[in-house]
Amino acid sequence: MKTIPVLLLGAGGVGRALIQQIIDGRETVAARAGSRLAVRLVADSQRWVRADDELSDADLKQILQAKQKRETVGEPRPDPADMVAAYAEQFPGPAILVDVTAANGMEPALNAALDRGYGVVLANK
């Protein structure tokens, strides 16, 4: 089975809905595409949670619950472009960067991802 690393920037309503869809759709994606979406990084405007391999479904559910309660999760995060660079240093190879933030100034992070050959997905906000 092919593993597709996912870096998720934005853990608000849209980001949480995407996390839930990833969890709920695991079997369908595996059956249809022979792939597994491996969420390795979730960041909000202040903090991030990351994993060496991938965030488990239990980890993702904890993030969902905490964010629903407006609690903080993870550790203070660097600038988004630095997050992409830190990830790329640790994990060379392809990934998908998903930006579901409503933040201005994300272009450096998006460009850093594109420069590394990552797929980039943006929300229509």
Nearest in space to 91 (alpha carbons), one of 120, 37, 54, 57: 54
Nearest in space to 63 (alpha carbons), one of 73, 76, 54, 75: 73
pLDDT tens profile 24-56: 999 999 999 999 999 999 999 999 999 988 999
Residue 125 has pLDDT above 70, yes or no: no
- Name the maximum alpha-carbon separation found in the chain: 38
pLDDT tens profile 85-109: 999 999 889 999 999 998 999 999 9
How high is the pLDDT of residue 52? Answer: 87
Q: Where are the domains of the chain?
A: 2-122
Over range 54-61, report the average pLDDT.
97
Nearest in space to 60 (alpha carbons), one of 6, 96, 101: 6
Type of residue at 81: A
CA distance 106 to 79: 9
CATH fourth-level superfamily of 2-122: NAD(P)-binding Rossmann-like Domain (3.40.50.720)
How high is the pLDDT of residue 84? Answer: 95
Cα atoms found within 13 Å of the Cα of residue 70, Cβ hemisphere only: 0
